[in-house]
Amino acid sequence: MNNRLDVLYRIGGYICGFALLFAIWHIAAVYFVRSILFPPPGRVILKAIELLQDGTLQEQVAVSLRRIMTGFAGGAAIGIPLGLAIGSFRPVRYLLEPFTEFFRFIPATAMITVAVIWFGIGEGSKIFLIIYTTVFIVTLNTAAGVGAISPNKIRAARSMGASTRQLFLYVALPATAPHILTGMRLAMGNSFVTIVAAELIAANAGLGKMIWDARLYMLVDQIFVALLTLGLLGFTADRLFRWGIYAFAGRFSPTA
């Protein structure tokens, strides 16, 4: 019952928060700014309906999401085992940690030119950039999760005769799962930033391309539709990862 009430309160809070945001936006656009460069929410919503009816918005969203999810899955598939290895084995940590720390400070947006040179303006460059922005965040969070495992848990499992495989599957992996999901949550946010920046520079479709084309023709309503769509997609993905983190943390907590 308490969980249901908490969910209802949370959903109610989201609705009130978005309603307040749109109310402030409307007041600012209608009564203070009064410029065609800052359209009120009603006009943006009408433009969104128009783009949905002709299929333009769905097409651009599908292209961007496909790029994000492909690169994100590739980056996570590399980052999770790499982080587990770095966190579990000291020689691997000494060997690979400097590389991950070094490349972590080179942002993916700075690699756009390199990606275009290597892979051209097609899908390869976009997916490479998402993999790049994902892999190091997931790796470091996963390694930190392994390092945060209580030594008492490991000793207790070993005293009960757990093998190395059982220790990994039933102790290390569940304890690390919230850290992995946190890293993936952060990486997903960076993926949205990276793909839009990449599509602004070199793309033939996608939400970033949609923003770029709208800028050229001063279609401000369309720019705001793309921005709202990005925010909604990112918010939804973040809530899903947040739910996953809470689910794992609750399931594997000492009191669960």
**Domains of the chain: which residue ranges?**
1-34, 39-251
Identify the residue whose tokens are 């892979």.
Answer: 119
Identify the residue whose tokens are 């949550």.
Answer: 185
Confidence band (pLDDT; 50, 70, 90) for 256? Answer: very low
- Quick: pLDDT tens for 76-122: 999 999 998 898 888 888 898 888 888 888 888 889 889 888 988 78
Q: Does domain 39-251 have CATH number 3.40.50.300?
A: no
- Quick: pLDDT tens for 164-202: 777 777 777 888 888 898 899 999 989 998 988 888 876
- Number of other residues whose CB lies within 10 A of the CB of residue 35: 9
- Looking at per-residue confidence, does 236 or 158 come out higher? 236
Cα–Cα nearest to 115, from 212, 205, 204, 202: 202
Rounded distance between C-alpha atoms, residue 157 and residue 87, angstroms: 18
Rounded distance between C-alpha atoms, residue 128 and residue 202, angstroms: 13
Cα–Cα nearest to 238, from 194, 190, 198: 190
Q: For 142-150, what is the mean pLDDT?
A: 86
pLDDT above 70 as % of the chain: 95
Backbone angles phi, psi at 201, to 5 degrees: -90, -45
Q: For 124-132, what is the mean pLDDT?
A: 92
| Cα 170 → chain centroid | 27
CA torsion angle for 200, 120, 68, 221 (degrees, to 10)? 20
Confidence band (pLDDT; 50, 70, 90) for 5? Answer: confident
